[in-house]
Structure 1
């Protein structure tokens, strides 16, 4: 064995931090003995949040607005579509309890922290299996490093994270591993990093991704992207992809009552439906009509006009369909209008400043969204605790100031149509790219208001997942887009200059050596109070760069459901983003007896009492 690896393994066994050189030498290593004195944690006594009244069975019928570009969970175009069913919503090693915030077991039964603040040890659940029946073992975590570090997956974020943030994985036996980070962090932050909702350290099934031949040096097929574009991978969750009708529908099927997760008390009485059917219905109004006919089981009413104007039809009045409004305390991700600084004119900060003050999000919320939504204080999101600056405040609409800034940028002349023109004859006009027709009135409002400053915003509607692909390829001028959020702000993926390229989340194409330095310092800093200060500095730099116009946030869910779709009481947890998303908390169920009763009542014209539930338990 190489001397450096021997020294490295010895340091791990002694509980000493000596990671830097050895961790890049192999995609995971083996060791024989665990350090002595580890304190194993399982937190198996937290309160349950599912219901003992839940019933198994039935098909949950829902829809998606467009068919996914791929069934892969990583690589080009994988950020949209069904990735949540293959990765984001699947078990991690551990998860936050949705109310108490304590870590509770998922794929791991217990965990322990090393004295170096870099190492976390995990005992895997020996009953855990992939949906194809293969066991989940430590080898799947060793393969995980090869998989995510491989250039063949064509995914720079994962390449970077699993090379520069994750040091290595150590296998002690088939069900015991250690994960070592490159930099020291508090125990809680290590757990956050390891168990990120969308990017956590999930095992990868080596038996499924085995290359066709031995010429693939890193163990990943050289033709990975094309080969797995429409092959559904096994999951560790309760559901697997059972059938696909391209462009039309997909069906996920439950693994069965012997799913390994039901041995964990936190998984009991969850994931209750036998099948999940997602149909492609591109028009939201058509989907709503299908729902009101009983062809879909639930329908989202977050949109103000749906809740206020479109939920008073006969099925609601007769109590066949119920309404639910529940508040949450979910961290809000980055978003609003992303300004592509690589596009002509948008590299000029005066133009970006003017555009920011010419964008009337507050008026849109009041006049188009009925005042139901809330303005984000900052373009990088909200709800990150002390990571957020206390003085973050979104820029108010000020067309006069915007006009002055545009004039400063050289757009001194106002054309016959009211739009500003510079001395080269360039009109002050930018396209806003977005993915759903329902957003058109919002952007149309911004368009009309922007004219007051001599700015033209044109609407560039691109269908669903294709819109995100368009944005990932950096074809947009302006992107109307909100991203998911975590409890620690994401900076590298959105702002680092290494991500100024296609197929990354740096939607602004912004590059700044000074900002890079702060982002790298943020990643490396151990002292939490200093990390807070660095985070504040980054947020101030982003504010001053005028690259994201802060948009809106929705701190609740509003949904309609047929009365046979049931849920625990109370229905909400602090972290419930959607009541009826089957691979998140999955605490709802379908009562087939109530479904039969409802169908019979509808035939006879018998009505029930109308029901609207407002759950404000977690309203801030």
Structure 2
């Protein structure tokens, strides 16, 4: 007997009309121009769904490709290539039903085998994907052994029953498994296209996607152009005909270009939200966004010996005046962070972190005490380097932290570099401290906490803690994992492999005639097919 799961069942999948692209209210007058131009801070490292690791890259991939499910305006799951699934009695076998009308941009049908190929490719050590571990997090059968090179990819728990039926076997029931399927690493790709073009398969003219848009131009570090795909299964309800992404490393320059009419959406630079909200009340927007901003600590053999001492790590964290950063530097609705998981994450219960309740004066005094115990102070300075990627906001925060630490006898050198170099250095443990931010892959605390496990593909600081690993593994089979999540967060607070700074808000300028952006979804996951421009 199998449990049949419709799109509206289990409170996981929202009931959706047949057309789930742009929902335009009756009587709305649409603009003649249905194009949308948005801002990117950095060049996209990869347009390969199984290779990309960047949030901005994910924004592009969601428009060029489509997975089994998408997110609705409030974060609810809505149909993508899948219309629903059956679930076995023991809740370990999912049988997804794929819509026969789903097509690739060259007109060929999207099949279950395309998903099988993509998922095997993700898990395959030969692909060298940083997201290979995601298959393990999803508990897909044999994923851990395959990513470790101990079993062949053919033994991954995913198979095509027929062209429109995909069967996935997971090793233990995972209530939030369907939510994980919105992530770009699970999107299908075409084996024949990759075989034909190799690493060039993501170039314009070569790339074959199954999303609502096709790639028409990509000038690395400058712009990305996407046109509406006539082959998309819901093209009839896709109103926006063209998407443009402009890469602008300077946020202030990006804002200037927005005000000049060149962009429809841009992130507001630090400190400017209050002014812009007064001047443009219908364009300046701030809402919770599931991302956390931190400085990662390099605990690997390549890292500084001083940072191996937990007293030093705690001192550095305590001395950061988060209220000054949030209230004086950022000023956009962000919240001070004393932990890792974003406060708005569904169901998350924050641990009672002691230093979060102290005054900043108490934190700073304790920091001085701990550094002195570790042998550092104004007469014996601790010399460290902070790497951060190009952004005026990152620079402002780094300068503030440099000043917070200076009276303690910490001499911090600031090292700015472009995003690709920055991430390469993190992945090679070539840093002391590194500015980083993590945005949730799905709305559940494990998306943050799995990051610091020893088997994580993103644990660039190489934090290794057996109790932490055990707790996260236990959470996968727990009837209620939330107490374990709270316990894991407490370990991070006690061991301090990161210096948490703030929890994000999405602070943007958006043209008033652009509609359909998901401001009520803490994940802030948007799709061009949901957008439309109204007549002024």
- TM bin, normalised by shorter chain, reads 0.7 to 0.9
Q: Which residue of 2 aligns with 1:238?
A: 212
- The 5-angstrom pairing of residues 246-395 of structure 1 reads 246-256=220-230, 259-262=232-235, 268=237, 271-301=238-268, 303-309=269-275, 323-325=283-285, 327-328=287-288, 330=289, 332-342=290-300, 343-344=303-304, 345-370=306-331, 372-392=333-353, 395=356
1:494 aligns with 2:451: yes
Q: Higher mean Cα deviation, 349-358 or 514-523?
A: 514-523
1:243-280 superposed Cα distances (whole Å, 9 cap, x missing partner): 12344322111103x521247xxxx3xx5322222233
1:96, distance to aligned residue in structure 2 (A): 4.8
Q: Is residue 151–residue 159 contact of structure 1 (8 Å, CA) maintained in 2?
A: no
1:240 partner SS: strand
1:118, distance to aligned residue in structure 2 (A): 0.6
Judged with a 3 Å threshold, the aligned counterparts in structure 2 of structure 1 residues 492 and 89 are, in CA distance, closer, same or farther, namely farther
- Larger Rg: 1 or 2? 1
Q: Which residue of 1 aligns with 2:487?
A: 537
Q: Is residue 341–residue 449 contact of structure 2 (8 Å, CA) maintained in 1?
A: no
- The 5-angstrom pairing of residues 186-585 of structure 1 reads 186=175, 189-193=176-180, 195-199=181-185, 201-210=186-195, 226=199, 228=201, 233-256=207-230, 259-262=232-235, 268=237, 271-301=238-268, 303-309=269-275, 323-325=283-285, 327-328=287-288, 330=289, 332-342=290-300, 343-344=303-304, 345-370=306-331, 372-392=333-353, 395=356, 397=360, 398-411=363-376, 414-415=378-379, 420-421=380-381, 427-485=382-440, 486-489=442-445, 490=447, 493-499=450-456, 504-523=457-476, 525=477, 527-529=478-480, 531-561=481-511, 565-567=513-515, 573-575=519-521, 583-584=526-527
Judged with a 3 Å threshold, the aligned counterparts in structure 2 of structure 1 residues 163 and 556 are, in CA distance, closer, same or farther, namely closer
Q: Which residue of 1 aligns with 2:54?
A: 79
Q: Which residue of 2 aligns with 1:158?
A: 132
Q: Is residue 132–residue 234 contact of structure 1 (8 Å, CA) maintained in 2?
A: yes
Q: Is residue 70–residue 81 contact of structure 1 (8 Å, CA) maintained in 2?
A: no
1:197, distance to aligned residue in structure 2 (A): 3.2
1:367, distance to aligned residue in structure 2 (A): 2.3
TM-score under structure 1 length normalisation: 0.72
Q: Is residue 157–residue 493 contact of structure 1 (8 Å, CA) maintained in 2?
A: no
Q: Is residue 123–residue 175 contact of structure 1 (8 Å, CA) maintained in 2?
A: yes
Judged with a 3 Å threshold, the aligned counterparts in structure 2 of structure 1 residues 518 and 577 are, in CA distance, closer, same or farther, namely closer
Q: Higher mean Cα deviation, 535-544 or 428-437?
A: 428-437
2:455 partner SS: helix
Judged with a 3 Å threshold, the aligned counterparts in structure 2 of structure 1 residues 369 and 393 are, in CA distance, closer, same or farther, namely farther
1:178 aligns with 2:167: yes
1:198, distance to aligned residue in structure 2 (A): 4.4
1:360-398 superposed Cα distances (whole Å, 9 cap, x missing partner): 222222222337321134123333344433525664542
1:305 partner SS: coil
Query: Which structure 1 segments of 5+ residues have no match?
Result: 1-35, 213-223, 422-426, 595-620
Return the alpha-carbon distance in structure 2 between the equivalents of residues 198 and 113 of structure 1: 23
Return the alpha-carbon distance in structure 2 between the equivalents of residues 464 and 471 of structure 1: 11
Return the alpha-carbon distance in structure 1 between the equivalents of residues 7 and 333 of structure 2: 40
Return the alpha-carbon distance in structure 1 between the equivalents of residues 182 and 355 of structure 2: 27
Return the alpha-carbon distance in structure 2 between the equivalents of residues 558 and 102 of structure 1: 23
Q: Which residue of 1 aligns with 2:69?
A: 94
1:521 partner SS: helix
Q: Is residue 41–residue 247 contact of structure 2 (8 Å, CA) maintained in 1?
A: yes
Return the alpha-carbon distance in structure 2 between the equivalents of residues 236 and 483 of structure 1: 27
1:427-464 superposed Cα distances (whole Å, 9 cap, x missing partner): 44332424312322222112112122222222222123
Return the alpha-carbon distance in structure 1 between the equivalents of residues 354 and 201 of structure 2: 44
1:106, distance to aligned residue in structure 2 (A): 1.6
Query: Which structure 2 segments of 5+ residues have no match?
Result: 9-13, 142-156
1:125, distance to aligned residue in structure 2 (A): 0.7
1:69, distance to aligned residue in structure 2 (A): 3.2
2:192 partner SS: coil
Judged with a 3 Å threshold, the aligned counterparts in structure 2 of structure 1 residues 124 and 322 are, in CA distance, closer, same or farther, namely same
Return the alpha-carbon distance in structure 1 between the equivalents of residues 55 and 171 of structure 2: 29
1:588 aligns with 2:531: yes
Q: Which residue of 2 aligns with 1:58?
A: 34
Q: Which residue of 2 aligns with 1:11?
A: none
Return the alpha-carbon distance in structure 1 between the equivalents of residues 405 and 134 of structure 2: 39
Return the alpha-carbon distance in structure 1 between the equivalents of residues 313 and 164 of structure 2: 53
Kindly report the root-mean-square deviation, in angstroms, between the aligned alpha carbons of the 2 structures.
Answer: 3.2
1:277-335 superposed Cα distances (whole Å, 9 cap, x missing partner): 2233332222222222223333333x35333346788xx6xxxx95242535x5x2444
